[in-house]
Chains A and B, each alone.
Chain A
């Protein structure tokens, strides 16, 4: 199964590695043409303003939005989730605006407040798993169709709306594969034409 990773800026190689280990064939996406034939697309972590600016400059923003509206699954981590959110405070408005969530950028503080922690998410894994929050955003509001799959200290950290999956943390930094496997399952369901398992 071919799954794309937006490869303009950010921790692209880490997502490529996670997808490969989880059994997918990763594809680097730098142009709208590269979206052809993908079962799903990862928007990586990085700087949301930079990735957003670069997406717009090469016309990928409109192309991704169109493919997502046709049903292509998307998985955004941190900056990726910010770009997918309906609205975001603390900077430029998000570019893709696909998911009914509101996020606040850098809500835990600056880099010295970045942390790693174990979280629980039974849908993804019966056991708690370790992830990193790096200058992470906080989800401050979720719309009706959005499922909160995991929380940390009461705040949503993994959210799903249909075939859209968003994490405020980075599973790819700690090498945890469960969230990518979950996303690949969503992508496989789409490829088979069955409805997503949640949302």
Chain B
């Protein structure tokens, strides 16, 4: 008997994406550029995060017509974003046949208290996290993949580094704790106890963990891999740069050969201007995306 939508099958697709680059695209043409460059998946969007940041207003799920056009243009998996807590947007994406749903802080939250009950869906979800507790709460709700939140649309990797290091540090700390302290650790993390035990046993998250939020160069991407991430999302970094096709390919090469400095050096060479980028410390609190949902 075939069993669809099992945890193993959902987490399994994320496992197939490891070592890969997932790229934000807004048109079928961009999706083909991403696929030709070697992207493992594309994220179909109405606007890239840098434009959402610049234009303001309420950011919502993309138009199904746009998502369908992108799905028709490529054979690699297509992801799309829904607002935090907006389970009907998620139902719509599942009905369209999107391969992965990102419940994302980049869009304007629809619910400031609750995330989507992701176990009700056959399609797997990826969610952002800034620390281990947040990652485990999302996994507890059924997320099949975690990514750092970083600070999307800035072209500045500093927040992705902070979040990736935070999660890895907290995992190492759990492993050093004696067993009798784990319940209190779970309470302090705000995380399900069973998942705390699992993380301690595995020495890693029980799902694939990607880097996201501000990655703009091949060196950024390779650094996130060396820090221990399983792959990277690149949002505005590609199609807000001078030569998207070349930069896309270079980031794919840098992720595949992340621990070979000669290969990363070759990938970095002659790419033209990267996206301009923002100093995260100068962003007013209200403009931070990473604080949405926790």
Contacts and interface: CB of A to CB of B under 8 A. Distances in A.
B38 interface: yes
A86 interface: no
A100 to B, nearest CB: 23
B77 A135 contact: yes
Interface stretch (A43-51, A143-151, A178-186): A43-51
A106 B15 CA distance: 17
A79 interface: yes
B263 to A, nearest CB: 8
A30 B260 CA distance: 10
Given A114-B12, A135-B13, A173-B12, A46 B19 contact: yes
B253 interface: yes
Interface stretch (A7-15, A63-71, A158-166, A191-199): A7-15
Nearest to B257: A30
A54 interface: yes
Nearest to A7: B19
Given A30-B260, A46-B20, A174-B8, A114 B13 contact: yes
Interface string B217-254: 00000000000000000000000000000000000110
Contacts of A91: 75
Contact of B13 (A14, A54, A111): A111
B90 interface: no
A30 B124 CA distance: 30
A46 B256 contact: no
B210 interface: no
Contacts of A57: 253
Contacts of B75: 49, 90-91, 105-106
B141 interface: no
A9, A90, A111, most chain B CB atoms within 10 A: A111
Nearest to A91: B75
A111 B18 contact: no
Contacts of B39: 50
Interface stretch (B93-101, B107-115, B169-177): B93-101
A170 to B, nearest CB: 7
B286 interface: no
B283 interface: no
Contacts of B122: 112
B19 A112 contact: no
A50 B13 contact: no
Interface string B1-35: 11111101100110111111000000000000001
A22 interface: no
Contact of A110 (B5, B8, B99, B253): B99
Interface in B35-49: 35, 37-41
Interface string B167-209: 0000000000000000000000000000000000000000000
B9, B35, B97, most chain A CB atoms within 10 A: B9
B121 to A, nearest CB: 9
13 contacts: A9-B19, A13-B18, A14-B15, A45-B15, A46-B40, A49-B35, A49-B38, A50-B39, A50-B76, A111-B13, A112-B4, A112-B122, A116-B8
Interface of A: 7-14, 30, 45-47, 49-50, 53-54, 57-58, 78-79, 90-91, 105-106, 109-117, 132, 134-135, 170, 173-174
Given A57-B253, A114-B13, 16 more contacts: A46-B16, A46-B18, A47-B40, A50-B20, A53-B37, A53-B252, A54-B256, A79-B16, A106-B75, A112-B99, A115-B3, A115-B6, A116-B2, A116-B9, A135-B99, A174-B8
Considering the complex of A and B, which 7 residue pairs feature the smallest CB-CB distances, nearest first?
A: A111-B99, A9-B19, A91-B75, A53-B38, A115-B2, A47-B40, A112-B122
